[in-house]
Amino acid sequence: MSQTVHGRFIRPEECLLFLVDLQSVMLDLCVHKERVVSHVVALLDMAAVLNIPVLFSQHNAEKLGGFLPELTAKVADPVILDKVEFSCFENEAMARAVSASGRKTLVLAGIETHVCIFHTGAHGVRLGYTVHVVSDAVTSRSEHNWQIGLQRLDRAGAVITSTEMVTFEWLNRAGTAEFRKALPILKRF
């Protein structure tokens, strides 16, 4: 099964962009933070072009502050849910929001790769979702934990991908109206 999942192209109509815990107080401690933010911006811009729904989680916002406002501002009516659980699926409101989206493919980005991204991704796979973890749009406080998190996610059945791969899979071909709208985004890579 994992070979089928890993070799199957994702389609925008099947996807939910799930952005996890990009909060300043935690992100500031992470490696590659500028790259992660710029790639999440690209994913958000592509989601807008292709009408892909977006869900934001924030970890204990009362103590750690909210999701980066420059990212949530890119979505007309952002759905931002608070949690204290490491797996977003352990939070009833988030599990319901994912299910209610009707989307079975999750495109995950955010922090930290070895904690909330791992817990959410591995849990999503166990629940039957196809999970794509965008490797250049996730990070941890150390390079080592970022890499270990990606390795464990891969072994758990998630697809490890990149922003550019997701973008081109979503577009599927050149010459369309969507491709023309996406050209400024593609030129960022």
* CATH code for the domain of 84: 3.40.50.850
Which tops the pLDDT comparison, 115 or 187? 115
Provide the pLDDT for residue 149: 97
Starting at the earlier edge strand, list the strands of the sheet with 79-83: 79-83, 54-59, 15-20, 105-111, 130-139, 159-161
124 lies in some domain: yes
User: pLDDT tens digit string along 150-162?
Assistant: 999 999 999 999 9
* Residue 7 located in a structural domain: no
Q: Which domain holds residue 113?
A: 13-186
Residue 4 has pLDDT above 80, yes or no: no
Residue 186 has pLDDT above 90, yes or no: no
Q: Residues 6 or more apart from 84 whose CB is under 8 A from it?
A: 59, 60, 91
Token code pair at residue 86: 């490491």
Beta-strand runs (E) in the chain? 15-20, 54-59, 79-83, 105-111, 130-139, 159-161
Q: Would the pTM count as exceeding 0.85? A: yes
Q: How confident is the model at residue 188 (pLDDT cuts 50, 70, 90)?
A: confident
**What's the pLDDT at 1?**
47
The answer to whether position 49 is within a domain reads: yes
CB within 8 Å of 116: residues ≥ 6 apart = 20, 21, 57, 59, 86, 87, 88, 110
Domain-located, residue 6: no
Question: What's the number of domains the chain is made of?
Answer: 1
